[in-house]
Structures are given as structure tokens and as C-alpha cells.
Amino acid sequence: MTYPGAQAAYRLADALFLIGHDEFTGKPHVAVDRLECGLAGAALAELMFERRIVLDGVGIAAVDPRLWQEPLSDLLITEILRREGAHPARLWIRYLRTQLNINERVGTRLVTAGVLRREQGKLLGRSVRWPATDPNQAASPRVRLTAMLMHRSPAELDPETLFLASLVDTVGLASSVFDPQLSGRMRESRRFLPAQLDGLVAAVVGALDASTTTVRR
């Protein structure tokens, strides 16, 4: 999935990952569990935009079983096909977080593409960092999203940009990375999402709530 006019073409999960990390230090801008929920939603959305899965009142189901030679999306479609029938999107988001390590997989995809480096902390328990090989390239999804939101109303945005903006707001990146005016437009973006994409954002919200409840316990 590409973003017309962007400095580089990034898939949705890649764009969210880059927005979610400082391009110089490689540190996440929000709690990793929150970012993971958003990344899982973005990875599922990639399959939706490619018309490989659908989300209806029952849940997510595969409609195109072909493999496209993209390792992460092919892994997801294989997992969905392996579990016959439709299952709620919120459960898939949790599965991608807890079983498939979506954060590591998206980060690795960007390392393979030469966009990021993976740096493991030297001390036990030290978290992984993902600094950019080229900070300007890594910043391009943030720059593009900023430009789109500044120069167009949410009603004029394409569904991919609306979904990315909605996810950025949902996981808490809007307030930590963007100025208040843009944050407000991101919140507004969700109102213009098609039903399936809005349902996927709702599933991310549900997964975030469940994650917060688990931590509090």
C-alpha cells in the first residue's frame, strides 16, 4: 500500500511504527503495549485494503487465500485461514500482540528494507531500540500526515490516511508527537472512516482497554 506524494512508500503498519518511534534514539513515543495494539490493527488493515480479508458483524474472515510474497501479511493470512470461520477483530489484535510479536515483526520488516537498525540494550531487561538509518526518510510518514491534515479537511482524505490518523490518535501518539490542532483533526478523522475500518479502530480501542485492565490487575 502506497501513499501518493510521500517521500517513500510505506505500508500502513510501517508508517505507524515510524511515527511511533523517535528517528534518532529509536525509542517509542508511547507505551509499547499501546503501540502494539495499533500495529496489529494496521497490519490487519493492510489485508483489508488488499481485499484479502473482510470484517463484518461476526469478525474477520479471509476472502483471498493467495500469498503475495510479503512475509508479514502472508503470515497473517495463513494464520487467519488456519483458524476456520470468522473470529472477532479484538481477539486477532491480542493474538498478534501476544503470540506473533507484531512490534518485532514490523520493526524487522523496516530493518530488512534498510530504514531502521535494531539495537538491543546491553543490560538484562533493557528494551530494543529502532533508530533510523536515514532520519529524514524515517520521518516522512509523519511529515506527510502532517501536510495532509494541514491542507485538507478530514472529509477530503483518502481512507488509508484517515485510518492512519485515527490509529495515531487512538494509541496516544497524536498528543505526544503532533501539535493540538492536528490532534483534533485526527480525532475527527474517525467519523469519516468506512464501516469496516471504523470497526477495526473500535477493535483496537477494545484491545487497548483490555490491555490496560490486565496491567492494573
Residue 45's CATH number: 1.10.3630.10
Choose between 85 and 198: higher pLDDT.
Answer: 198
Choose between 178 and 122: higher pLDDT.
Answer: 178
Asked whether residue 195 is domain-assigned, the answer is yes
Q: Is the pLDDT of residue 144 over 60?
A: yes
Domain count, the chain: 1
Asked whether residue 100 is domain-assigned, the answer is yes
Q: Is the pLDDT of residue 4 over 60?
A: no
pLDDT recorded at residue 3: 34
Asked whether residue 122 is domain-assigned, the answer is yes
Backbone angles phi, psi at 113, to 5 degrees: -80, -5
Asked whether residue 33 is domain-assigned, the answer is yes
pLDDT recorded at residue 212: 62
Nearest to 147 by CA among 185, 192, 187: 185
| Residue that the C-alpha cell 472512516 belongs to | 193
Asked whether residue 1 is domain-assigned, the answer is no
Asked whether residue 183 is domain-assigned, the answer is yes
Asked whether residue 43 is domain-assigned, the answer is yes
Q: List the grid coordinates of 157.
A: 482524505
Q: Supply the range of the domain harboring residue 146.
A: 12-212
Q: What percent of the chain has pLDDT over 70?
A: 91
Residue 168's CB is within 10 A of a number of other CB atoms, namely 29
Asked whether residue 104 is domain-assigned, the answer is yes
